[in-house]
Amino acid sequence: MQAPAIGGVQIPRGNGQVIRLSRGASLTDFADKIGVNPASLVQVLFHLGEMVTATQSVNDETLQLLGAELNYSVQVVSPEEEDRELLESFHIEFGEDEGAESDLQPRPPVVTVMGHVDHGKTKLLDAIRHTNMVAREAGGITQHIGAYQVTTEVDGDERKITFIDTPGHEAFTAMRARGAETTDLVVLVVAADDGVKPQTTEALNHAQAAGVPIVVAVNKVDKEGADPQRVRSQLTEYGLVAEEFGGETLFVNVSATQRTGIDGLLEAVVLTADAELDLRANPSQEAQGVAIEAHLDRGRGPVATVLVQRGTLHVGESIVCGEAFGRVRAMLDENGEQVPDAPPSRPVQVLGLTAVPGAGDNFLVVTDDRVARQIAERREARERSAQFAQRRPRVTLEDLESALRSGEREELRLIIKGDVSGSVEALEDALLKIDVGEDVLLRVIGRGVGAITQDDVNLAIASDAVIVGFNVRPAGRAGELAQREGVDIRYYSVIYQAIDEIEAALKGMLKPEFEEAQLGSAEIREVFRVPRAGNIAGSLVRSGTITRGSKARLIRDGVVVSDNLTVESLRRFKEDVTEVRDGYECGIGIGYNDIKVGDVIETFEMREKPRT
Ligand code: GDP
């Protein structure tokens, strides 16, 4: 290939080959792939108006721009994709159960407790743990390891439930934002003396956005002024209708301090899981799961609590967990007791890792230490380069249109934050009233009063949502996080402005709708047989214009005989013409032989319908 000079730089151009680069790659990485000197790429970019150093990591757009300039097709690979490929290169598949349907065994549900502050989440988690401790003979001091498992009897069967010991939706959503789906079911705690509060609905939003079933624990029923029925009726507004009201959600009255109603709550969790979820995993494969908590212990080194999601983890196995690896030296349960193995849904503390993994990192068992080390090292290297890179911009109102056109997205998810609850509700109402037809869905997955928090941004990341701020701004580092993660935040102070803009984006999102426009009609007066051309209709144009090439249908006695025809030939006196107006006679060929005198030929076209 010729080497044209770009801004005075001699560089061999590609011929459209695909080049794969990881997100946050540097010009040096690019140069390596195409076998040129990195310095020359720096110069090319400089002439394109961007100044970067050879080792600095650059964003997706810049890589694409450079690729286009040099005639390479650049594919930027996401970290998740890369990790999958990395594991695949070791013949490991993460996230899927191995084997056939018959290898899957039921596994306990994993539950997160959420609710408004002071409604008793922590007390409830204590009560559940304690009730269960009494039931077991084995003593031991329970300690917080991030999750615990309890046993309850339902219909004569011993059933296990795993509780995540960090209450609240912050952790839940932060995990989801990292792609770790750990929670199967949410227990929503609502204090009976206080009712539904902002964080109650926030928690609800998070759970519903994740599509996780909810069991409601109506707490503090021992208190004076407790009104458990009110909680039930309040929550119907949010789509949680109690069974006794004809709905599907189980509500259980409990007192976390008196420890009453706990068994009923556990039963409700099991019943809801049985009814709504099909929780099964293969216990016989090599273990995989997620780290839910980790810290550095002075005496024991890195300690990580992992939740096994499939397979069974055994002491002595080699594991990788995020960028940490090692051999499982010991496993401890929530009572500080040693356990030799951990089946699906079992949380255990693992000792023996080389480093402290992050919450939400995946873990998996590999064949030997060497593989574990290689995977960990490659992840670390990748993480280092990715850290500097700007993250891919996520959904923005502007890109909705093209996302829709390419069929990528048919739903706009919004999180609405406002200064007072009245404005949030008004805005949500108005937005939901925008008539966008059936093709596009507008879903408000979160709403609340007050500044835009990190938590909102995390929810937006996890659910690919746009945040609408009405008279509010991001609090603390939320703005920074949003910017880094490319979350679109829209600020408004006038409601109709917000509605106009979102409506416009939604309409842009809509697939074009077509309607038929009638062009003309002609009555058949005579039928001519023309060799090779078939039957030609000698007609009188009754209305509009008959145009050659337009779509046509044949109507006999008011009934459509054939649709989907085309005006193939159109003649006036022996001459081919392109159109014939009403009142004139002509010969029309529609490629259809069964035509009769008195039939009507209608022509029409499909026009894009403007949205109203
Ligand atoms: P969290 O912020 O949701 O974790 O709430 P806590 O578990 O810390 O409880 C907040 C307060 O409510 C504490 O003072 C608890 O003692 C009290 N509390 C929790 N559950 C009950 C209950 O069932 N009855 C009564 N009377 N008080 C409760």
Nearest residue CA, atom 6 of ligand 1?
A: 120
* Cα-to-centroid distance, 458 and ligand 1 (Å): 27
Q: What residue type is 429 in one-letter code?
A: D
Cβ atoms within 10 A of the Cβ of 367, count? 13
For residue 151, is it within any domain? yes
Instruction: Please give the structure tokens belonging to residue 509.
Output: 């999102």
- Please state the rounded mean pLDDT for residues 382-392: 54
Phi-psi map region of 125: left, alpha, beta (phi>0 left; psi -120 to 50 alpha): alpha
Average pLDDT over residues 136-159: 78
- Domain carrying residue 582: 513-609
| pLDDT surpasses 90 at 219 | yes
pLDDT at residue 400 greater than cutoff 80 = no
Q: What is the dihedral of CA 308, 250, 276, 201, to 10 degrees?
A: -70
Q: Flag whether 7 is in a domain.
A: no
**Quick one: what percent of the chain has pLDDT higher than 70?**
88
> Tokens 């109507």 map to which residue?
555
Rg (CA), the chain: 33
Q: How would residue 9 be classed by pLDDT, with cut points 50, 70 and 90?
A: low
* Ligand 1: nearest atom to the Cα of 125: 7
Across 96-100, 234-238, 256-260, least confident range: 96-100
pLDDT at position 530 over 70: yes
- Residue 392 clears pLDDT 50, i.e. is over it: no
123 lines ligand 1 (CB under 6 A): yes
Residue 222 beta carbon below 6 angstroms from any ligand 1 atom? yes
Q: Is the CB of 117 under 6 A from ligand 1?
A: yes
* Same domain membership, residue 537 and residue 423: no
**Structural domain ending residue among the three candidates 509, 531, 566:** 509
Q: Is 120 in the pocket of ligand 1 (CB under 6 A)?
A: yes
Domains held by the chain: number: 5
Which of 188, 257, 262 best tests ligand 1's pocket when mutated (most atoms within 8 Å of CB)? Answer: 257
Nearest CA to ligand 1 atom 18: 120
- Kindly state whether residue 71 falls inside one of the protein's structural domains: yes
Q: Quick one: 496 and 543 in the same domain?
A: no
Are 112 and 211 found together in one domain?
Answer: yes
Whether residues 549 and 597 fall in one domain: yes
Q: What is the mean pLDDT of residues 172-194?
A: 85
Whether 7 contacts 43, CB under 8 Å: yes
- Both 118 and 249 in a single domain? yes
Q: Look up residue 17 and give its two tokens.
A: 């080959």
Residues 321, 242 share a domain = no
Residue nearest to ligand 1 atom 25, measured at CA: 220
Residue 442 forms part of a structural domain: yes
Mutate to test the pocket of ligand 1, among 118, 125, 166, 200 (most ligand atoms within 8 A of CB): 118
CATH classification at residue 223? 3.40.50.300
Residues 167 and 230 in one domain: yes
Regarding predicted confidence, which is higher, 435 or 464? 464
**2-6, 180-184, 199-203, 546-550: least confidently modelled range:** 2-6
CATH of the domain at 476: 3.40.50.10050
Query: What is the 421 CA–ligand 1 centroid distance (Å)?
Result: 26
Strand bridging mode 105-106 / 280-281: antiparallel
pLDDT tier, 387 (very low <50, low <70, confident <90, very high otherwise)? low
166 Cβ below 6 A of ligand 1: no
Q: 374 lies in a domain?
A: yes
Q: What is the pLDDT of residues 485-529, one digit of tens each?
A: 888 888 887 777 888 888 877 776 554 556 778 899 999 999 998
Is residue 391 over pLDDT 70?
no
Contact between 357 and 324 under an 8 Å Cβ cutoff? The reply is yes
**Span 79-100, average pLDDT:** 85
Same domain, 439 and 426: yes
Of the listed ranges 100-104, 370-374, 439-443, the least confidently predicted one is 439-443
- pLDDT score of 535 more than 80: yes
Q: What is the CATH number of the domain that holds 358?
A: 2.40.30.10
Q: Distance, CA 219 to ligand 1 centroid (Å)?
A: 8
